[in-house]
Chain A
């Protein structure tokens, strides 16, 4: 064995200067080839010596036994709660840190799939700007955020609750998950508070349509995989509506057996692009759907498809094809809702579902969950709760404005980001000195910027989870999961925070902590014979490969009505085709849509930001879909900067010329901005005070102008180049683009309260 530190006999001694001089002289007489060889050798040796340097690596010895060794990866199962879909996931863990999220391949929900939003949950957990400690602000944009402690926060919030006084003076805002909602409603009852669900605008519309059509909220469970025709009426089932992962799996399975996917929508979404048949409509889906209902009810003699196609400005051959598909379908699945839909549109969709025999198979998920989703009975271990008042966003805004709601608590939702500035909610909160806004959040957004108190909330993987998981459109089950990683900073489970706030106000909520709340939830459904347990459903899948419909054990839709029959109601207004036909002239209606990245899930997450939109391919920014004719009128081409103005606000964005866009319409994505950056182009601020079922209307008339300084425009990033739009299959011929002229305006008539736009 050689001595470890022995010097090679040829090793150069740095102190030997004579050798250096001799070498220099040698170089002067060395042939070029020999010089190159020597220098190459020297470089290689130097690099190899560099490689030989050992790295010092420390291994942290764990204190207690664990299932894995230090540095060893393990996969743990959990639930994704980034949207209401509730996919089951597995998380790669190393040394207590979550490294990767993948779909659980054994899950009957998502079968190993997970969407980009689910992947990006890691970036919510480990985001460098994550809110980790209680903070206090003065509630204005100029204020500075002060670090605080839980003790100080609770000591300050308790008196706020006490002084709020009066029934309904406190409003608690939460997300749409039924279980979370049930928990929040239970807790809100201890504060004598009202609850406001902050959800996608289309979800509020769908809920209101269900109330009118069925007499209550229902979960319509349909098997996509078993369908021989899947008809999506406005619902972008492959984009973000419902559970897109499970729905994509269902569509794929149905298609493999020869089923067709048909889509009726205004915008070419990812779903429409993937459809076998797309019927582009304008002015809502109701007229076309009502005509299809008439066909199904045998009154086809009254409907001339050619005339109808002309009235609705849709290709007649596509309409005829859809009528043929519906007539031939034995087990159709019909899904209704989605961006820009009105209550009447959704109700027409329910009529279509009834006409084609879809509804009798529907079940009520809230009954499936027993008393969990029923706030009137509540969990058995908690205090009794009375009927709770649930406010829409519009009602909450009005109550804050008139001072009847003085304290607003948001739990993981961006309330002020969900409503347009024109509603004035933020102004009402900041102008009323007696009001308080308390935000439970993981990241900064419009709500935390205006909040008096910001309380750090645990993310999905840090907390006990109880969630309603939807098995695509087929079934639902309650799933629970334990925390996978230690909570960062001083973040707490939202239920624990609310319980602490209730205790600070001198009230008793009945639950000790979030784990006790979870146990109460699970116990409350324990008498349903296990039909709601995901394990039972999973066993059924393993048995025959199919998730069974659970409707047999539950009340059907027909039982919801007192007379035992479906009370099909008709839309308000005359609903005539003439009154709802496509708009004409040069008016442009802007519709905001929820893309595959989600509505407000945090543009600050790089994985989402760098995900190209599947249609426009735009990354790291927003855009406006313009039809080629409008772009030609404006003289803009894809990538040009334009200003979009409504009567209520303005924003700048880049143009994407989409041949599939109907002339006279335009669309912008929600969520294509960073909610933590004030004024970062939230298109919601273009919206007016109009509401649909208490939620902001997602449509507004706008003026599109070429931005004056187009040379200094930001560089848009298109994932597949600027000419990709030409490849989109369109229902209309494309038009060439002209040269952009700064200041040139596309003539658009505003439809705000004054009927004008401000410029």
Chain B
């Protein structure tokens, strides 16, 4: 049991914790069950390509405005997609899915790519990090080059978060994130 609590890093105060896995790579640990989460193209309602849209000149905040203002990055309403795709490649098979959902007034159900486990009781505030000039890619990787967005960091691994907080002089108090 001592081992367990120590692993979660909650039993010690932040001043005592010196053994955080500082060298955790910004990538998923081996064996993590990413595929079962289903963020691949087969599970998303539309095969949306970040790369194509970035190449077309869109910026992250164009669609994820919440990342700079709110706790959650959020998704744009379908109306935003339709405003362009009503005229732009409306015959593309994936765009047809969008148009069909719009006509049927049926909201699309997207699969969240980066999921914080509920059991960890952790809160992540996008705007707080954006205000601290933390770039999107620092946590999400090079989404701009991804055809289908996939997680590159296991956001459930606390060591990665804590190390970044310490490197940048941010708080490492438990209650800053766990509440």
Contact = CB atoms under 8 A, between A and B. Distances in A.
A54 B115 contact: yes
Interface stretch (A43-51, A138-146, A682-690, A735-743): A43-51
Taking residues whose C-beta sits less than 8 angstroms from the other chain, chain B's interface range is: 35 or more
Contact of B118 (A55, A64, A70): A55
A8 B32 CA distance: 11
B74 A71 contact: yes
A55 B33 CA distance: 10
Contacts of A62: 75, 77-78, 107
Nearest to B110: A59
Contacts of A1: 25, 27
Interface residues of A, number: 36
B112 A59 contact: yes
A7 B31 contact: yes
Interface in B61-87: 65-66, 70-80
A40 B118 contact: no
Contacts of B136: none
A2 B66 CA distance: 33
B24 to A, nearest CB: 12
Given A51-B117, A56-B37, A63 B32 contact: no
Name A's interface SS: loop
A213 B146 CA distance: 81
B30 A2 contact: yes
B177 interface: no
A72 B38 contact: no
A44 B27 contact: no
B108 interface: yes
Nearest to B106: A63
Contacts of B108: 60-61
Given A5-B31, A6-B30, A44-B7, A55 B37 contact: yes
B13 interface: no
Contact of A65 (B72, B73, B77, B154): B77
A43 B77 contact: no
Contact of B30 (A3, A47, A72): A3
A4 interface: yes
Interface string B1-37: 1111001000000000000000001011111111111
B156 A63 contact: no
B4 A43 contact: yes
Nearest to B43: A56
Contacts of B117: 51, 53-55
B89 interface: no
Contacts of A302: none
Nearest to B150: A4
Given A4-B34, A54-B37, A69-B66, A48 B75 contact: no
Interface string B75-111: 1111110000000000000000000001001011111
A569 interface: no
B75 A70 contact: yes
B109 A69 contact: no
Contacts of B3: 40-41, 44
Contacts of A69: 65-66, 70, 72-75
A59 B4 contact: no
Q: Can you list the 5 inter-chain pairs with the closest CB atoms, starting with the nearest? A: A69-B74, A54-B37, A69-B66, A57-B112, A44-B4
Interface of B: 1-4, 7, 25, 27-38, 65-66, 70-80, 102, 105, 107-112, 115, 117-120, 154, 156
Interface of A: 1-8, 11, 40-41, 43-44, 47-48, 51-66, 68-72
8 contacts: A2-B30, A6-B30, A6-B31, A59-B75, A60-B109, A62-B75, A63-B107, A69-B74
Given A4-B34, A62-B77, 10 more contacts: A44-B7, A48-B4, A52-B33, A54-B117, A59-B109, A61-B76, A63-B79, A65-B77, A69-B65, A71-B72
